[in-house]
Amino acid sequence: MQHLWKILYGVFLVAVIGFTASLDGIKQNIPNENGEVKIEYLEGQIVDLQDNFFTVIQKDGKEIYFEADPDFLFNPYETGDIVTIYKMDQAGEIVYDIVDYVHLDGIFFFFVCFFVITIWIAKRKGFFSIVSMLVSTSLFYFLFLKGIQAGYSPAVACLLFVFAVTVLTIPLIHGFNRKSGSSLIAISLGFVMSFFISILFKNLVRLGNVPSESLRNLSFQLPEINIGEILLVILFLGAVGALIDVAVTISSAIFEAAHEQKKISFKTSFKLGMEVGKDILGSMINTLLLAYLASSIPFFILLTHAKSSTLSDLLNYDFVALEVTRTLIGAMSLVLLVPLAAVISSWMLSKQK
């Protein structure tokens, strides 16, 4: 059985790679009444800086001299900084501006430190956890984002993404066994529940289609994309990680207890799974809430500094309602997943016995 599972896993992996490779990218060309606007992002090093006037040397040695817009100079740039430059070519007229620091070197160094510490502490499971993280990140870009770019429905692209991530990463970390199988079944059913809960809450709270500035910008710049589905994806995707974590934790607890006690009934294992699920619910729901609130701290500070902003006013703002709704969707999905994961894991355990 385990051998067959590994074969199916390999077939699924090849299918995912083939599908992502088939997604054709769409070249970004923004039409304009004065001609075609071409946008590029260049990398270079600041060699001279006088007030708002920058001199930047690119990697190919070409020198760029331009005046940056002072309204968008949010960082204290200095000579020697590696930065990203925005280049816009509109009918032959080229405009440069500075965007931000180049972050890749810092990210790579941080990742190396994280890799070393994780392998040192978690050994083999730590290695496969890092591999699964890389798989998830790659699929988010090559399957979800590229899928939307290729014209797929955002909801369909999201469901394909979370399904592929779940099937590929759970066995990779926890092995090809009944524990992983019960987790996959519970997580898949949890995804279905969470998706329909997201649809229900989106309409119940009346979020509309654009309850945040980023969604409004997306709607303005890419009107052909279904913004309502993007909002649905935002509501649903926020709960996915927590669902995976809870299902795996409950399944692991049940199968580990069975391994230690040798003989364990369905009723006992189900009760154990419920207790474990209840214990992690409170901390997991708080984790979801704090993660969502952290992304909106600047807006909260601005609103609470306004003398007329009461708590009810704060909750009624569209982007605050969005974060609260995401938290409630995640919380309700987790609560419903706990008995589901406990039942499936206990049943799989009884079949194994």
Asked which of 143-147, 281-285, 298-302 is least confident by mean pLDDT, the reply is 298-302
pLDDT band at residue 24 using 50, 70 and 90 as cut-offs? low
Asked which of 186-200, 273-287, 301-315 is least confident by mean pLDDT, the reply is 301-315
Mean pLDDT across the stretch 250-273? 84
**Residue 339 backbone zone (phi > 0: left; psi -120 to 50: alpha; other: beta):** alpha
Query: Distance between CA 131 and CA 169 in Å, rounded?
Result: 8
158 & 69 share domain: no
167 & 92 share domain: no
70 & 181 share domain: no
Residue 107 lies in a domain: no
The CATH number for 95's domain is: 2.40.50.140
Residue 28 lies in a domain: no
Q: Domain of 45?
A: 33-102
Q: How confident is the model over 184-232, as pLDDT tens digits? A: 999 999 999 999 999 888 888 888 777 777 888 888 888 888 888 898 8
> With the C-alpha atoms ordered 118, 122, 127, 128, is the resulting torsion angle positive or negative?
negative
Q: How confident is the model over 35-85, as pLDDT tens digits? A: 466 788 889 999 998 888 888 888 888 898 988 888 778 888 999 999 999
Query: Distance between CA 104 and CA 86 in Å, rounded?
Result: 17
Which residue, 53, 87, 102, sits at the end of a domain? 102
Mean pLDDT across the stretch 140-162? 92
Candidates 86, 92, 43, 90; CA nearest to 66 is 86
Return mean pLDDT, the chain.
Answer: 85
217 & 93 share domain: no
Candidates 192, 209, 193, 198; CA nearest to 325 is 198
93 & 12 share domain: no
Give the Cα-Cα-Cα angle 195, 297, 107 (nearest 5 degrees): 80
55 & 136 share domain: no
Local structure of 93: helix, strand or coil: strand
Residue 109 lies in a domain: no
Which residue, 49, 84, 102, sits at the end of a domain? 102
194 & 45 share domain: no
Residue 195 lies in a domain: yes
Q: Decide if pLDDT at 239 tops 90.
A: no
79 & 154 share domain: no
Residue 44 lies in a domain: yes
Residue 88 has phi, psi (to 5 degrees) of: -120, 125
Residue 47 lies in a domain: yes
In this predicted structure, what is the pLDDT of residue 309?
Answer: 66
Report whether 2 contacts 176 (CB < 8 A).
yes
Query: Distance between CA 48 and CA 53 in Å, rounded?
Result: 8
Residue count (the chain): 353
Which residue, 82, 102, 122, sits at the end of a domain? 102
Residue 121 lies in a domain: no
Tokens for 126, please give them: 């730590």
93 & 146 share domain: no
pLDDT band at residue 241 using 50, 70 and 90 as cut-offs? confident
188 & 82 share domain: no
Residue 318 lies in a domain: yes
Tally of domains within the chain: 2
Q: Which range, 22-36, 210-224, 245-259, is most confident?
A: 245-259
192 & 254 share domain: yes
Q: Decide if pLDDT at 26 tops 60.
A: no
Query: Distance between CA 208 and CA 197 in Å, rounded?
Result: 16
348 & 219 share domain: yes
Tokens for 10, please give them: 């390999």
